[in-house]
Amino acid sequence: ETKLQEGHLDDPKLKLREHFEEKLEGYDGHWSYSLEKKGYSGTAMFIKKRQGGAKTKTEDDKKGKKQATLGAFFGSSKADEGKTDTSAKGGDNNSTGDIPISHLEPINVDTELGLPAHDGEGRTITAEFPLFYLTNVYVPNSGQKLDRLGYRTEQWDADFLAKMQQLEKEGNKPIIWLGDLNVAHNEKDTWNEGAKHLVKSAGTTVEERTSFERQLSAGYTDAFRHLHPEGRGQYSYWSQRAGNREPNKGLRLDYFICSNELMEDGDGKKARVRDSYIVPDQLGSDHCPIVLEIEIKK
């Protein structure tokens, strides 16, 4: 989620483009803005450039800059000390390890779903890669008074699912959607399951959980829960106002949802999810990063 408005990146007073080019020098940035209510919602996606690769087709078709590592943004860790870059063996700029660079480069990046009823809030960015689609999504919050609960569960969730299914069918490749989905799926995803107020709170209503179940039952998997079925105390959001982070009173609201085939081995499969986990020690937001590890085969 971002609060950026159209024009903020190139505002000479804010100097945001320069900031991102410095901190994320090695990545192409893609942005989607809320046009209906400025500063209300928005999304961003950063995709690592690969040496020797073709230029990605985007809506703006802007030229990129030089590349570095995402470590420039998060800062180096002790685990990274002493490591050397093995992303390109033998000086081959057309591969990274045994994997062709073309597998890691997006074919196209789209900042709209093509659904006028929803695109005005800038909630999605979809990157098409050769082996799968990747959609970054900020699902609408149902609101403190649940005033958007009907829109969220009856319109957004249904239309978004239909769009993901359409991409999967027309592209003949699996899909992954990820981000703040604004739902804590079940009792393992909340610190205070059973509290009376949860059924009337955004993210934990029966309607939202049922709608999420409907999406999963259409052929998709919550990667983290599939790989860590009994994991508890694993949250991605904590209320800053209540000071809930230190005592780990949180919710798991952020997910990687994958086509079922990405969770299975099989002959001829080029991509397979191997792990998904949460990084609660990374500060800077009321949410924390989540990670999906994908094995791409040559």
Active-site positions read 138, 287
214: closest CA among 235, 183, 193, 173? Answer: 183
What number of residues does the chain have? 298
177: closest CA among 121, 214, 123, 235? Answer: 123
CB 222 within 8 A of CB 207: no
CB 112 within 8 A of CB 105: no
Structure tokens at 282: 């990374």
Q: Which residues contact 181 (CB under 8 A, 6 or more apart)?
A: 137, 139, 212, 253, 254, 255, 257
Reduced DSSP (H G I as helix, E B as strand, rest coil) percent helix, strand, coil of the chain, to 5: 25, 25, 50
Strands 108-110 and 124-128: antiparallel
- Give the largest CA-CA distance in the chain: 60
The count of C-alpha atoms lying within 13 angstroms of the C-alpha of 258, restricted to the half-sphere facing its C-beta, is 24
Place of tokens 């950026």: 4
Rama region for 75: left / alpha / beta (φ>0; ψ in -120 to 50; rest): left
CB 101 within 8 A of CB 48: no
User: ∠285-40-8 over CA atoms, to 5°?
Assistant: 85
Count of other CB atoms within 10 angstroms of residue 276: 22
* H helix or E strand, kind and range, residue 19: helix 16-23
